[in-house]
Structure 1
Amino acid sequence: MDATKLRRAIARTPLAPVAAFPKRFARVARHDAKVLRASARWLVTSREHHNYTYELTKLSRHHLTWFVSVVCDIPVQQVRGYVAEIESDDALRHHIEQATATAARRGLADRKVRYARRVGWYAIVRATHPAHVVETGVDKGLGTCVLASALLRNAQEGHPGRVTSLDINPEAGYLARVAPWSEVVDLVIGDSIASIGALDRPVDLFLHDSDHSRAHEKREFDAVEPTLAPGAILLTDNVTSTNVLAEHAERTGRRFLAYRESPVNHWYPGDGIGVAW
């Protein structure tokens, strides 16, 4: 009996799990060894303790550009142009590197600039020209700078806009406190639900990236709903953990899509973008 026929014969017997164990064990060991290597490298080379930054795999970048293309109904080549635009913005990159290096919290931040899924935020803002963006959860302000950079580009093309950035931490947003990015940023310190209720103009694009509990995410989307402009876009950074935005989209008659990123050489599995429009 040749090897193939023998394997097939064993597969039909109670011995099948025992025979397959070495191969299964080898696959698990290879996977775990890769994760352990990435984890050990990160522990030695990175200072980050949350809001991890990383590059995306080539395939994940392709999927992100198509995701934005579908949501914004624009050619994928146009999205790729927007992604190239933010990644080639040397002034922004240099600012983030220098601001990180001199910040009081520099011991918990990496100087290397890695936008990951945030280039998707940038492309959406560039494609839709929102007059008013609201983001909840600012932390260092990396995402705020990305949003502000897109708004500044839009303004150069005749589509001005501003971003209202909400965070409960008074130290948040230090990357976005320098011109020209700060010129289109309104940083509001306080509870996000109360701050949303105090907004004085319609919201064209809303991004949830604050307290990632299901209850708080739902409260934010419920709170912002009355303030939304016609055709507003809702984004969540919590889509890999909850179905809150999908449920909100269904209740309010919107479409919903989700994208999950894949980091390069990182132990963290990545986050994603959920969008309702």
Structure 2
Amino acid sequence: MAAFPKRLHRVARHDAQVIATSVRWLFTSREHHNYTYELTRLSREHLAWFVSITCAVPVATVRGYFAEIDGDAALRGHITATTAASARSGLADKQVRYARRIGWYAIVRAKRPAHVVETGVDKGLGTCVLAAALLRNTAEGAPGRVSSLDINPEAGYLARASPWRDVVDLVIGDSIASIGALDRKVDIFLHDSNHSAGHERREFQAAEAKLSPGGLLLSDNVTMTNVLAEHAERTGRRFLAYRETPAGHWFPGDGIGLAW
């Protein structure tokens, strides 16, 4: 009982910070799903080490990849202008914030894939990040493309302008059927569509037959399910998970699961 006032003070201070952050977001952000935010400095550093370990590249190289995407003024300008002109501009913020997607960028830069497949496109922010990495790789003599699969015909409006669209194949339809119809081997597969465990499991099962030797499996659903970890164990792969920490946002963040 003697410690109760001190404990109450700590809980109240924490709750007050959460409430203040939430109220500020309610009145300053337009987003209603697929929230965007920056990562804390510590979370960025943990992400750099996650990519370094799973992709077997020096952590300093990964930090360099982060700096590339941070400094890509053309991509930021395109996203800002296209978002403002979109019919969905009322549901998107003006600021360009990539969060864990800088990890996607770094993985593509590190592995130099010829074919990336992502399921779930929404506005196309992640698609643009993947495309930017592929364009850098192409300029360095390692060309690649991304097949972006979504069931919504309106998905991917951010990725419909050059030069990003030049390396993007946008496929509209059921993701399981679209994976089965792929005519090229897949070097990196990223699940970011329907986040039910059953659908995620079916996507990895479908992708398994399409993977090239040494292909990577990534999940954007790793904070919600253990599907990719279980798939990795069944198929004799290693698995690691990273959980992001948003800076100044009420949302607790998502993460990246990677099986290799």
CA separation in 1, counterparts of 2:81 and 2:19?
A: 31
* Matching of residue 208 in structure 1 with residue 156 in structure 2: no
Structure 1 equivalent of residue 239 of structure 2: 256
Residue 23 of structure 1 deviates from its aligned partner by: 1.5
- The alpha carbon displacement at 1:266 in A equals 0.4
Q: How many Å apart are 1:24 and its aligned residue?
A: 1.5
The residue number in structure 2 matching 1:8 is none
The 1-side partners of 2:250 and 2:169 are apart by 34
1:93 to 2:81 alignment: no
Counterpart secondary structure, 1:48: coil
Structure 2 residue matching 1:206: 3-state secondary structure: strand
Task: Identify which of 95, 105, 109 aligns with 1:122.
Answer: 105
What is the root-mean-square deviation in Å for CA atoms of aligned residues?
0.5
TM-score normalised by structure 2 residue count = 0.99
Residue 26 of structure 1: how far off its partner (Å): 1.1
Report what 2:167 is aligned to.
184
Query: Aligned ranges for residues 73-152 of structure 1 at < 5 Å?
Result: 73-152=56-135
Shift of 1:27: 1.2
The 5 Å alignment of 1:63-78 reads 63-78=46-61
The answer as to 2:148 corresponding to 1:165 is yes
Aligned partner of residue 269 in structure 1, secondary structure? coil
Measure the CA separation in 1 of the matches of 2:45 and 2:22: 25
The amino acid that maps onto 1:50 is: H
Aligned equivalents of 1:168 and 1:107: distance in 2? 22
**Among candidates 210, 217, 239, match of residue 200 of structure 2:** 217
**Structure 1: gaps (5+ residues):** 1-17
Amino acid at match of 2:147: T
- Name the % identity: 76
User: Of the candidates 6, 12, 27, which is equivalent to residue 10 of structure 2?
Assistant: 27
Q: CA deviation at 1:263?
A: 0.5
Shift of residue 19, structure 1, vs aligned partner: 2.0
Equivalent residue letter for 1:124 = I
Q: Which residue of 1 aligns with 2:24?
A: 41
2:11 and 2:2 mapped to 1: Cα distance? 16
Structure 2 gap ranges (5+): none
**Match for 1:174: what amino acid?**
Y
CA distance in 1, matches of 2:248, 2:204: 34
Quote how far apart the aligned CAs of 1:20 are: 2.2
Aligned residue for 2:209? 226
Cα deviations by residue, 1:100-139 (Å, 9 ceiling, x for unpaired): 0000100100121000000000000000000000000000
For residues 76 and 32 of structure 1, the distance between their equivalents in structure 2, rounded to whole angstroms, comes to 36
Select which of 191, 194, 198 maps to 2:181: 198
Cα separation, 2, equivalents of 1:90 and 1:181: 14
Q: Secondary structure at the match of 1:172?
A: coil
Give the whole-Å Cα distance in 2 for the aligned partners of 1:111 and 1:196: 33
Mapped pair 1:245 → 2:254: no
Give the whole-Å Cα distance in 2 for the aligned partners of 1:31 and 1:215: 36
Structure number with larger C-alpha Rg? 1
2:32 paired with 1:54: no
1:156 equivalent to 2:139? Answer yes
